[in-house]
Chain A
Amino acid sequence: MSTTVKRSIETKSLSISSKVFVRSSKSGNATKIVREQYLRNDIPCSSKLCLICPLNVQADVNGVVKPFVLSEDPNRTKQLGSHYIVIDANIAIQAIDLLEHKATFYDIIVPQTVLDEVRNRSLPIYARLRSLVKDEDKRYYIFHNEFRRDTFVQRQPKESINDRNDRAIRRVCAWYKSHLEESVSNSDRPNLKILKIVLITNDFDNRTKAKAEGITALSLREYIGSLPDSETLLDMIPTEDQLNNKRKEFSFPEHFPMSRLMGGVKNKTLYQGALNTNQYNFLEATVSTPAYPKPLLILGLENINRAFNGDSVVVELLPQSEWKQPSTQIVDEEELSKNDDATNEISSVITEQERKILGQEALDAQTSSAEFKIQPTAKVVGIIKRSWRYYVGHIVPNSTTSDKTSSTKSVFVQLMDRCLPRIRIRTRQSATLVGKRIVVAIDSWPANSRYPEGHFVRALGEIETKEAETEALLLEHDVEYRPFSKTVLDCLPKEGHDWKVPENLDNGDEQLKKRKDLRDLLVCSIDPVGCQDIDDALHAKMLPNGNHQVGVHIADVGHFVKANTPLDDEGASRGTSVYLVDKRIDMLPMLLGTDLCSLKPYVERFAFSVLWEITPEGEIVKTDFTKSIIRSREAFSYEQAQIRIDDDSQQDELTQGMRVLLKISKKLKQERINAGALNLASPEVKVHMDSETSDPGDVEIKKLLDTNSLVEEFMLLANISVAKKIYESFPQTAMLRRHGSPPATNFEILNDQLRVRKNMTVSLESSRALADSLDRCVDVKEPFFNTLVRIMATRCMLAAEYFSSGSYAYPEFRHYGLASEIYTHFTSPIRRYADIVAHRQLAAAIGYETLAQSHREKDKMERICGNINKRHRNAQFAGRASIEYYVGQVLKASESEQEGFVIKVFSNGIVILVPKFGVEGLIHIEDLCGDPTSSEFDESTYCLNFTEKSGTKRQIAIFDKVKVFVKSEKDESTGRRKVRMSLLS
Chain B
Amino acid sequence: MKFSPAEISYLRNSLELPSPIRPDGRSSQQYRPLEATTDFLPTANGSARVRTSDGGECIVGVKARVVKAASESSLINIDVDIAGVRDDSSAVVLLSSTLQTAIQASLPENALKLTDVYSFKLFIDALVISQPSNPFNITSLATYLALKSTRLPKLVSATDDAEAAEIPVFDDDWDQSTFLGQDETRQKWSPPIFTVMAVVGNNLFVDPSVEEEFVSDAGILAGWSADGKVIAPIRIIDLGGKRNGGLKSTLIYKAYSLLQSTAPDVIEALNAIGDQDSLSIF
Query: In the bound complex, how far is the Cα of B164 from the Cα of A22, in angstroms?
Result: 25
Determine if A257 is an interface residue (Cβ-Cβ < 8 Å).
yes
Determine if B110 is an interface residue (Cβ-Cβ < 8 Å).
no
Query: In the bound complex, how far is the Cα of B165 from the Cα of A158, in angstroms?
Result: 29
Query: In the bound complex, how far is the Cα of B175 from the Cα of A20, in angstroms?
Result: 8
Which of B43, B157, B163, B167 touches A33 (beta carbons < 8 Å)?
B43
| In contact, A29 and B158 (Cβ under 8 angstroms) | no
Which of A18, A21, A28, A351 touches B167 (beta carbons < 8 Å)?
A28
| In contact, A269 and B44 (Cβ under 8 angstroms) | no
* Contact partners of A23 in chain B: CB under 8 A: 172
Determine if A352 is an interface residue (Cβ-Cβ < 8 Å).
yes
Tell me the smallest distance from the CB of B135 to a CB of chain A, in Å: 28
Could you mark each residue 159-182 of chain B with 1 if its beta carbon is under 8 Å from any beta carbon of chain A, else 0? 001111111111111111100000
User: In chain A, residues 267-316, which have Cβ atoms closer than 8 Å to a Cβ of chain B?
Assistant: 267, 269
Supposing A22-B153, A263-B161 touch, asked if A30 and B170 sit within 8 A by C-beta, the answer is yes
Q: Chain A binding site: helix, strand, loop or mixed by DSSP?
A: mixed
| In contact, B158 and A259 (Cβ under 8 angstroms) | yes
* Contact partners of B45 in chain A: CB under 8 A: 32
Determine if A155 is an interface residue (Cβ-Cβ < 8 Å).
yes
Supposing A29-B66, A30-B153, A161-B172 touch, asked if A22 and B177 sit within 8 A by C-beta, the answer is yes
User: In chain B, residues 121-165, which have Cβ atoms closer than 8 Å to a Cβ of chain A?
Assistant: 153, 157-158, 161-165
**What band does the interface of chain A fall in when counting residues whose beta carbon is under 8 Å from B?**
20 to 34
Determine if B224 is an interface residue (Cβ-Cβ < 8 Å).
no
Query: In the bound complex, how far is the Cα of B14 from the Cα of A487, in angstroms?
Result: 90
* Contact partners of A269 in chain B: CB under 8 A: 164-165
Determine if A62 is an interface residue (Cβ-Cβ < 8 Å).
no
The residue on B at minimum CB distance from A158 is: B175
Determine if B196 is an interface residue (Cβ-Cβ < 8 Å).
no
* Contact partners of A259 in chain B: CB under 8 A: 157-158, 166-169
Supposing A30-B66, A259-B157 touch, asked if A161 and B166 sit within 8 A by C-beta, the answer is no
| In contact, A352 and B167 (Cβ under 8 angstroms) | no
Total A-B pairs, Cβ < 8 A: 89
Supposing A29-B66, A32-B44, A34-B42 touch, asked if A24 and B170 sit within 8 A by C-beta, the answer is yes
* Contact partners of B173 in chain A: CB under 8 A: 21-22, 155, 158-161
Determine if A157 is an interface residue (Cβ-Cβ < 8 Å).
yes
Determine if A940 is an interface residue (Cβ-Cβ < 8 Å).
no
| In contact, B164 and A352 (Cβ under 8 angstroms) | yes
* Contact partners of B165 in chain A: CB under 8 A: 260, 263-264, 266-267, 269, 352
Supposing A20-B174, A21-B174, A22-B153 touch, asked if A258 and B169 sit within 8 A by C-beta, the answer is yes
Determine if B65 is an interface residue (Cβ-Cβ < 8 Å).
yes
Query: In the bound complex, how far is the Cα of B174 from the Cα of A159, in angstroms?
Result: 11
| In contact, B177 and A260 (Cβ under 8 angstroms) | no
Query: In the bound complex, how far is the Cα of B153 from the Cα of A21, in angstroms?
Result: 9
Tell me the smallest distance from the CB of A258 to a CB of chain B, in Å: 7
The residue on A at minimum CB distance from B171 is: A22
Supposing A30-B66, A257-B166 touch, asked if A21 and B172 sit within 8 A by C-beta, the answer is yes
Determine if B194 is an interface residue (Cβ-Cβ < 8 Å).
no
| In contact, A32 and B43 (Cβ under 8 angstroms) | yes
User: In chain A, residues 15-44, which have Cβ atoms closer than 8 Å to a Cβ of chain B?
Assistant: 18, 20-24, 26-30, 32-34
Tell me the smallest distance from the CB of B171 to a CB of chain A, in Å: 7
| In contact, B168 and A24 (Cβ under 8 angstroms) | yes
**What band does the interface of chain B fall in when counting residues whose beta carbon is under 8 Å from A?**
20 to 34
Query: In the bound complex, how far is the Cα of B139 from the Cα of A984, in angstroms?
Result: 95
Tell me the smallest distance from the CB of B70 to a CB of chain A, in Å: 12
Determine if A819 is an interface residue (Cβ-Cβ < 8 Å).
no
| In contact, B166 and A22 (Cβ under 8 angstroms) | no
Determine if A262 is an interface residue (Cβ-Cβ < 8 Å).
yes
Query: In the bound complex, how far is the Cα of B124 from the Cα of A575, in angstroms?
Result: 53
* Contact partners of A20 in chain B: CB under 8 A: 42, 174
Could you mark each residue 179-215 of chain B with 1 if its beta carbon is under 8 Å from any beta carbon of chain A, else 0? 0000000000000000000000000000000000000
* Contact partners of A263 in chain B: CB under 8 A: 161, 164-167
* Contact partners of A34 in chain B: CB under 8 A: 42-43
| In contact, A30 and B164 (Cβ under 8 angstroms) | no
The residue on A at minimum CB distance from B177 is: A22
* Contact partners of A351 in chain B: CB under 8 A: 163
Tell me the smallest distance from the CB of A270 to a CB of chain B, in Å: 8
| In contact, B43 and A24 (Cβ under 8 angstroms) | no
Tell me the smallest distance from the CB of B68 to a CB of chain A, in Å: 9
The residue on A at minimum CB distance from B64 is: A30
Could you mark each residue 229-258 of chain B with 1 if its beta carbon is under 8 Å from any beta carbon of chain A, else 0? 000000000000000000000000000000
Tell me the smallest distance from the CB of A320 to a CB of chain B, in Å: 19
Query: In the bound complex, how far is the Cα of B168 from the Cα of A29, in angstroms?
Result: 7
| In contact, A28 and B118 (Cβ under 8 angstroms) | yes
| In contact, A28 and B66 (Cβ under 8 angstroms) | yes
* Contact partners of B171 in chain A: CB under 8 A: 22
* Contact partners of A30 in chain B: CB under 8 A: 64, 66, 153, 168, 170
* Contact partners of B169 in chain A: CB under 8 A: 24, 257-259
* Contact partners of B43 in chain A: CB under 8 A: 32-34
Tell me the smallest distance from the CB of B278 to a CB of chain A, in Å: 16
Tell me the smallest distance from the CB of B215 to a CB of chain A, in Å: 47
Query: In the bound complex, how far is the Cα of B158 from the Cα of A258, in angstroms?
Result: 11
Tell me the smallest distance from the CB of A927 to a CB of chain B, in Å: 48
The residue on A at minimum CB distance from B65 is: A29
Query: In the bound complex, how far is the Cα of B66 from the Cα of A26, in angstroms?
Result: 12
Query: In the bound complex, how far is the Cα of B174 from the Cα of A232, in angstroms?
Result: 46
* Contact partners of B168 in chain A: CB under 8 A: 24, 28, 30, 259
The residue on B at minimum CB distance from A21 is: B172
Query: In the bound complex, how far is the Cα of B171 from the Cα of A159, in angstroms?
Result: 11
The residue on B at minimum CB distance from A27 is: B167
Query: In the bound complex, how far is the Cα of B169 from the Cα of A264, in angstroms?
Result: 14
Query: In the bound complex, how far is the Cα of B66 from the Cα of A352, in angstroms?
Result: 21
| In contact, B163 and A352 (Cβ under 8 angstroms) | yes
Which of A22, A27, A157, A161 touches B170 (beta carbons < 8 Å)?
A22
* Contact partners of B118 in chain A: CB under 8 A: 28
| In contact, B163 and A266 (Cβ under 8 angstroms) | no
Query: In the bound complex, how far is the Cα of B154 from the Cα of A30, in angstroms?
Result: 9
Query: In the bound complex, how far is the Cα of B170 from the Cα of A27, in angstroms?
Result: 12
The residue on A at minimum CB distance from B117 is: A263
The residue on A at minimum CB distance from B120 is: A30
Tell me the smallest distance from the CB of A23 to a CB of chain B, in Å: 7
Query: In the bound complex, how far is the Cα of B166 from the Cα of A269, in angstroms?
Result: 11
* Contact partners of A29 in chain B: CB under 8 A: 65-66
Tell me the smallest distance from the CB of B60 to a CB of chain A, in Å: 16
Tell me the smallest distance from the CB of B152 to a CB of chain A, in Å: 8
* Contact partners of A22 in chain B: CB under 8 A: 153, 170-174, 177
Query: In the bound complex, how far is the Cα of B168 from the Cα of A155, in angstroms?
Result: 24
Query: In the bound complex, how far is the Cα of B176 from the Cα of A267, in angstroms?
Result: 29
Query: In the bound complex, how far is the Cα of B170 from the Cα of A263, in angstroms?
Result: 14
Tell me the smallest distance from the CB of B178 to a CB of chain A, in Å: 12
Query: In the bound complex, how far is the Cα of B176 from the Cα of A159, in angstroms?
Result: 10
* Contact partners of B65 in chain A: CB under 8 A: 29
Tell me the smallest distance from the CB of B151 to a CB of chain A, in Å: 8
Query: In the bound complex, how far is the Cα of B66 from the Cα of A689, in angstroms?
Result: 67
* Contact partners of A352 in chain B: CB under 8 A: 162-165
Query: In the bound complex, how far is the Cα of B43 from the Cα of A351, in angstroms?
Result: 39
The residue on B at minimum CB distance from A28 is: B167
Could you mark each residue 855-894 of chain A with 1 if its beta carbon is under 8 Å from any beta carbon of chain B, else 0? 0000000000000000000000000000000000000000
Tell me the smallest distance from the CB of A560 to a CB of chain B, in Å: 49
Having A21-B173, A259-B166, A260-B158, one finds 13 other A-B pairs with CB under 8 Å, namely: A18-B42, A22-B153, A22-B173, A24-B153, A26-B167, A30-B66, A30-B170, A257-B157, A257-B158, A258-B169, A260-B165, A260-B166, A264-B166
A–B complex contacts, Cβ < 8 Å, 25 sampled: A22-B153, A24-B168, A24-B169, A24-B172, A28-B168, A29-B65, A29-B66, A30-B66, A30-B168, A32-B43, A32-B153, A34-B42, A155-B175, A158-B173, A158-B175, A159-B173, A160-B173, A161-B173, A258-B169, A260-B164, A260-B166, A262-B166, A263-B167, A264-B165, A352-B164
6 closest cross-chain pairs (CB), A and B: A263-B165, A259-B157, A262-B167, A263-B166, A30-B153, A263-B167
Write the residues of chain B forming the contact surface with A, with a CB cutoff of 8 angstroms: 42-45, 64-66, 118, 153, 157-158, 161-177
